């Protein structure tokens, strides 16, 4: 595998923000370029991961718009869309552009502005990433699709309310230690029990929120990184896989085959095993999704992710810290930005600059970003 490194990483604060879509994308990109010590004139290509700026803020064709605001000089610009995995898809395209030798230095941005539309409209825009004819038209939304997965996991493995709550409590706790996070509020099992039911068994605190935000990274070759002299983080492996868009067509609702395949490809490329991973940023769009992710990634056997979370094995000081950033649940989920933000957090952790949420001995980080209910999955492995 080519010697690929991330030399710059930055993100905006996540939440309900005043900044526009373009402002957020530019803010993250300028900060990532500054972190890398790379001037805009040295960027060879730009990839922008974003899910639906056309419906959220009436702006299609956003990649050249953002590039021109950044002063990138007529470089190729490409927007990637893979639902909530749009950002990690952009990251993989950037990696392949450098690996192919076509580009020396690539800027990757993920951005989404989700709070401009009323919640009913936002929910429908998101549901359009499910199968419109067989799921969304029948009334399914992402909370309800993940609720079905939760029910099945509970039925098959005995996963409980307390197991799911442990994920939400942990991720809110970690987010309190992340200045970029949307929520800085510890929650308790009592808060969860008293919260509004969104899609039974998922309450408000089982759901990631609606969020504005952007994240950006600068990728180059190991050789160029030496010249730049910054604190580079190596890309050890990556994998992407797909599956049926609709949940009902899958053989198993308690595991994402795309995640298992993507993870298998990333581990094989890196020559690593799940036991080599020091921490993981996983796609906890709903609490059940984190439980399933920790099983699909090989951290725990199938069906044992819930008890492991409840026992503290995924806590900041646990055996395998999961979502030290606060995850989608606590940090927020601006869908197109999330995959890039997971890489940004991994860079901070591996550099040892994650502050109060720093994982001890963070040598190898894994990111797991899911589109839809599991139709797209991207996994990356990063390390020193
Ligand atoms: N977790 C914790 N708190 C949340 C929250 C969440 N997911 N969503 C909203 N809140 C808080 C708000 O901060 C607000 O608190 P405040 O009163 O102290 O200010 C309160 O709950 C009400 O917020 P509001 O924006 O009115 O909530 P809502 O009812 O409009 O939205 C959900 C709640 C769960 C419907 C919305 O967050 C949602 O749709 N989440 C899922 C997003 C999604 O599907 N993403 C794609 C995944 S594949």
Q: What is the pLDDT of residues 210-269, one digit of tens each?
A: 999 999 999 999 999 999 988 999 999 999 999 999 999 999 999 999 999 999 999 999
The CATH class that applies to domain 126-208+235-383 reads alpha beta
Residue closest via CA to ligand 1's atom 38 equals 209
pLDDT, residue 175, reads 99
Expressed in angstroms and rounded, the spacing between residue 79 Cα and the centre of ligand 1 is 28
The answer to whether 136 and 128 are in contact (CB under 8 A) is yes
Mean pLDDT over 112-120 rounds to 97
Our mutation pick for probing the ligand 1 site, out of 187, 207, 287, 331, counting the most ligand atoms within 8 A of Cβ, is 207
> Whole-prediction pTM value?
0.99
Delimit the CATH 3.40.47.10 region(s) of the chain.
Answer: 4-118+210-233, 126-208+235-383
Mean pLDDT over 352-363 rounds to 98
The model's confidence at residue 2, banded by pLDDT at 50, 70 and 90, is confident
As for ligand 1, residues whose beta carbon falls within 6 Å of it are 84, 119, 123, 126, 142-143, 198, 204-205, 207-210, 285, 333
Expressed in angstroms and rounded, the spacing between residue 188 Cα and the centre of ligand 1 is 17
Expressed in angstroms and rounded, the spacing between residue 186 Cα and the centre of ligand 1 is 15
pLDDT, residue 203, reads 98
Task: Return the percentage of the chain with pLDDT > 90, whole number.
Answer: 98
Task: Return the percentage of the chain with pLDDT > 70, whole number.
Answer: 100
Residue closest via CA to ligand 1's atom 44 equals 142
pLDDT, residue 230, reads 84
CA–CA dist 182, 163 (Å, integer): 23
Terminus-to-terminus CA distance in the chain, angstroms?
16
**Is a pLDDT exceeding 90 seen at residue 1?**
no
pLDDT, residue 309, reads 98
CA–CA dist 175, 213 (Å, integer): 15
Average pLDDT value for the chain: 98
Question: Is residue 333 annotated as part of the catalytic site, yes or no?
Answer: yes
Expressed in angstroms and rounded, the spacing between residue 204 Cα and the centre of ligand 1 is 6
pLDDT, residue 73, reads 86
CA–CA dist 234, 384 (Å, integer): 6
pLDDT, residue 131, reads 98
**Is a pLDDT exceeding 80 seen at residue 88?**
yes
Atom of ligand 1 nearest to the CA of 119: 30
The model's confidence at residue 97, banded by pLDDT at 50, 70 and 90, is very high
Residue closest via CA to ligand 1's atom 20 equals 204
Residue closest via CA to ligand 1's atom 24 equals 119
Question: Is residue 84 annotated as part of the catalytic site, yes or no?
Answer: yes
The model's confidence at residue 296, banded by pLDDT at 50, 70 and 90, is very high
Mean pLDDT over 357-384 rounds to 98
The model's confidence at residue 115, banded by pLDDT at 50, 70 and 90, is very high
pLDDT, residue 234, reads 98
CATH topology for 4-118+210-233? Peroxisomal Thiolase; Chain A, domain 1 (3.40.47)
Q: Which of 84, 103, 207, 285 is catalytic?
A: 84
Residue closest via CA to ligand 1's atom 47 equals 285
**Is a pLDDT exceeding 80 seen at residue 12?**
yes
Expressed in angstroms and rounded, the spacing between residue 371 Cα and the centre of ligand 1 is 20
The model's confidence at residue 273, banded by pLDDT at 50, 70 and 90, is very high
Q: Which of 153, 163, 172, 333 is catalytic?
A: 333
């Amino acid at each position: 595998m080519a010697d690929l490194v991330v030399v710059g990483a930055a993100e905006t604060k996540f939440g309900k923000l005043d900044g526009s879509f373009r402002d957020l994308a530019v803010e993250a990109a300028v900060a990532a370029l500054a972190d890398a010590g790379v001037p805009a004139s040295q960027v060879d290509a730009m990839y922008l991961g974003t899910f639906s700026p056309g419906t959220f803020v009436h702006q299609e064709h956003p990649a050249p718009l953002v590039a021109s605001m950044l002063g990138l000089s007529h470089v190729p610009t490409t927007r990637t869309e893979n639902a909530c995995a749009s950002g990690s898809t952009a990251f993989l395209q950037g990696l392949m552009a450098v690996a192919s030798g076509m580009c020396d230095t690539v800027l990757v941005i993920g951005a989404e502005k989700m709070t401009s539309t009323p919640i009913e409209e936002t929910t429908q825009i998101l549901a359009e990433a499910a199968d419109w004819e067989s799921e969304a038209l029948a009334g399914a939304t992402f909370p309800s699709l993940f609720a079905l997965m939760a029910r099945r996991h509970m039925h098959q493995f005995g996963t409980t309310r307390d197991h799911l709550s442990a994920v939400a409590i942990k991720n809110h706790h970690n987010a309190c230690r992340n200045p970029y996070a949307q929520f800085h509020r510890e929650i308790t099992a009592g808060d969860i029990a008293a919260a509004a039911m969104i899609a039974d068994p998922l309450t408000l605190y089982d759901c990631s929120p609606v969020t504005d935000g952007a994240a950006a990274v600068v990728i180059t070759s190991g050789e160029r990184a030496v010249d730049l002299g910054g604190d580079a983080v190596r890309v050890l492996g990556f994998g992407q896989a797909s599956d049926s868009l609709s949940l009902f067509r899958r053989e198993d609702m308690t595991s994402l085959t795309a995640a298992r395949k993507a993870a298998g490809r990333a581990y094989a490329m890196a020559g690593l095993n799940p036991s080599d991973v020091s921490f993981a940023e996983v796609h906890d769009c709903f609490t059940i999704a984190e439980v399933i992710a920790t099983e699909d990634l090989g951290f725990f056997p199938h069906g044992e992710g819930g008890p492991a979370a409840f026992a503290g094995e995924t806590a900041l000081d646990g055996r395998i810290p999961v979502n030290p950033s606060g995850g989608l649940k606590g940090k927020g989920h601006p869908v197109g930005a999330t995959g890039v933000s997971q890489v940004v957090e991994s860079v901070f952790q591996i550099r040892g600059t994650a502050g109060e949420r720093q994982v001890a001995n963070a040598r190898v980080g894994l990111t797991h970003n899911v589109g839809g209910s599991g139709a797209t999955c991207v996994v990356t492995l990063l390390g020193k």
